[in-house]
């Protein structure tokens, strides 16, 4: 009996599961590691090999030279990927699909805009009647950049983290504590004048650190790219411009169905902040122009 298998390549994780299921059956880190120094053949229960992949590479990442099969959300070598599927694992066939279209299908939609922000890149993809439109936009800020920015913010607080060895630690901290502020000025005021935003976080070595304003400052880079020295529009302005570049007759359908996907859209507060900024941009750039204000 043959099965259809969904195979999702992402910068941070590979997710695999049967078509029709709500959740993947297997998730493992998308990383390949080679020992920096081969000093032993075994560490704990893990055998040290010349090539380590996935969970075993993640557990020993501090001792490995780690590389990633994807870069900025793009598979580095499609031929190698297909070769593994057909030659090693005997797949009967493979079909590469655009993630934005599949995201809408999963919601029972054929038209809408998908804001897909994972670990390596953010895409804003307008789709109409099952076809992607040419107005797709790309923002080179996603989860990995936010983690790096958080490391920098924590350094300013006095906590020194290594960009490679401690990266996963800060990533997990980010996923547990970070959120998107609805009103950034109000959040900054709370951060500087009170301690209500301060949370304790226990590191793997048992140390306790305090995380305050960094909780909202790190994800703010999605809305204000200049914070991490990236030129261009933030995610809200990019979404607005993407829809406005589409045919005027389909814009209402696109505004009606905006779907968020990817791990970097899961911050608490992000949907409401995005909605607020979209309404403000529409008021300033569409309604005021139409009515001559």
How far is Cα 231 from Cα 233, in angstroms, rounded to an integer? 7
Asked, for residue 126, whether it belongs to a domain, the answer is yes
Q: Does 245 lie in the same domain as 115?
A: yes
Asked, for residue 93, whether it belongs to a domain, the answer is no
Question: Where residue 192 sits, what CATH number does that domain have?
Answer: 3.90.640.10
Give the mean pLDDT of 137-146: 92
Judge whether residue 38 has pLDDT over 90: no
Asked, for residue 38, whether it belongs to a domain, the answer is yes
Judge whether residue 43 has pLDDT over 70: no
Model pLDDT, residue 33: 78
What tokens does 32 get?
Answer: 């390949």
Q: Does 238 lie in the same domain as 103?
A: yes
How far is Cα 193 from Cα 209, in angstroms, rounded to an integer? 20
Asked, for residue 94, whether it belongs to a domain, the answer is no
Question: Where residue 13 sits, what CATH number does that domain have?
Answer: 3.30.420.40
Query: What are the backbone dihedrals phi and psi of residue 148, each rounded to the nearest 5 degrees, phi first?
Result: -60, -40
Question: How far is the CA of 261 from the CAs of 160, 221, 258, in angstroms?
Answer: 32, 18, 10
Model pLDDT, residue 15: 82
Could you give the percent of the chain with pLDDT greater than 90? Answer: 47
Indicate the residue among 179, 200, 222 that finishes a domain.
222
Judge whether residue 154 has pLDDT over 90: yes
Give the up-direction half-sphere exposure of residue 240: CA atoms within 13 A in the CB hemisphere: 19
The helix/strand count (H/E) of the chain reads as: 11, 17
Give the mean pLDDT of 257-263: 91
How far is Cα 109 from Cα 69, in angstroms, rounded to an integer? 31
Q: Does 185 lie in the same domain as 72?
A: no
Q: Does 199 lie in the same domain as 150?
A: yes
Q: Does 111 lie in the same domain as 238?
A: yes
Judge whether residue 21 has pLDDT over 80: no
Indicate the residue among 199, 222, 245 that finishes a domain.
222
Chain Cα centroid distance, residue 220: 14
Burial class (CB in 10 A: 0-12, 13-18, 19+), 267: buried
Model pLDDT, residue 292: 53
Model pLDDT, residue 198: 93
Determine contact, residues 159/210, Cβ cutoff 8 Å. no
Chain Cα centroid distance, residue 202: 24
Asked, for residue 150, whether it belongs to a domain, the answer is yes
Q: Does 114 lie in the same domain as 57?
A: no
Predicted structure pTM score: 0.77
Q: Does 23 lie in the same domain as 79?
A: yes
Q: Does 104 lie in the same domain as 84?
A: no
What tokens does 21 get?
Answer: 């299921």
Domain of residue 167 covers: 143-222
How far is Cα 261 from Cα 211, in angstroms, rounded to an integer? 27
Q: Does 10 lie in the same domain as 70?
A: yes
Summarised one tens digit per residue, pLDDT across range 183-235 is 999 999 999 999 999 999 998 888 899 999 999 999 999 999 999 999 989 99
Q: Does 76 lie in the same domain as 25?
A: yes
Judge whether residue 23 has pLDDT over 90: no
Indicate the residue among 222, 244, 270 that finishes a domain.
222
pLDDT bracket for residue 285 (50, 70, 90):
confident
What tokens does 213 get?
Answer: 């304003």
- Which residues, at least 6 apart from 91, have a Cβ–Cβ distance to it below 8 Å? 85
Q: Does 147 lie in the same domain as 267?
A: no
The mean predicted confidence, pLDDT, of the chain is 85
Q: Does 147 lie in the same domain as 132?
A: no
Determine contact, residues 67/8, Cβ cutoff 8 Å. no
Number of domains in the chain: 3
The least confident of 81-90, 211-220, 276-285 is 81-90
Model pLDDT, residue 72: 61
Model pLDDT, residue 61: 67
Helix or strand run (H / E) with residue 132: strand 131-132
Highest-confidence range of 1-10, 201-210, 269-278, by mean pLDDT?
269-278
Identify which of 64, 66, 68 has the alpha carbon closest to the alpha carbon of residue 38. 64
Model pLDDT, residue 223: 97
Model pLDDT, residue 241: 95
Determine contact, residues 132/125, Cβ cutoff 8 Å. yes
Asked, for residue 63, whether it belongs to a domain, the answer is yes
- Which residues, at least 6 apart from 98, have a Cβ–Cβ distance to it below 8 Å? 125, 132
Residue 235, helix vs strand vs coil: helix
Judge whether residue 258 has pLDDT over 80: yes
């Amino acid at each position: 009996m043959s099965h259809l298998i969904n195979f999702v390549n992402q910068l941070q994780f590979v997710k695999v599961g049967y078509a029709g299921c709500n959740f993947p059956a297997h998730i493992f880190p998308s990383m390949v590691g080679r020992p920096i120094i081969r000093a032993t053949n075994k560490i704990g229960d893990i055998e040290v090999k010349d090539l380590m992949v996935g969970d075993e590479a993640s557990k020993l990442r501090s001792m490995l030279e780690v590389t990633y099969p994807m870069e900025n959300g793009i598979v580095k070598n499609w031929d190698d990927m297909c070769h593994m599927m057909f030659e090693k694992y005997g797949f009967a066939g493979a079909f590469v699909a655009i993630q934005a279209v599949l995201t809408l299908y999963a919601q029972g939609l054929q038209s809408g805009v998908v804001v897909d922000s994972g670990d390596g890149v953010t895409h804003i993809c307008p789709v109409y009647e099952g076809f992607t439109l040419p107005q797709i936009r790309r923002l080179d800020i996603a989860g990995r950049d936010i983690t790096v920015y958080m490391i920098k913010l924590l350094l300013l607080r006095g906590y020194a983290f290594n960009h490679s060895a401690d990266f996963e630690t800060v990533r997990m901290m980010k996923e547990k504590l970070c959120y998107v502020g609805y009103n950034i000025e109000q959040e900054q005021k709370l951060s500087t004048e009170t301690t209500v935003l301060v949370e304790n976080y226990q590191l793997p070595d048992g140390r306790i650190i305090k995380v305050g304003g960094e909780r909202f400052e790190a994800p703010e880079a999605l809305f204000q790219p200049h914070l991490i020295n990236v030129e261009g529009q933030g995610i809200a302005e990019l979404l607005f411009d993407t829809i406005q570049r589409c045919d005027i007759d389909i814009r209402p359908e696109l505004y009606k169905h905006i779907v968020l996907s990817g791990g970097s859209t899961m911050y608490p507060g992000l949907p409401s902040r995005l909605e607020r900024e979209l309404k403000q941009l529409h008021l300033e750039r569409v309604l005021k122009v139409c009515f001559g204000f």
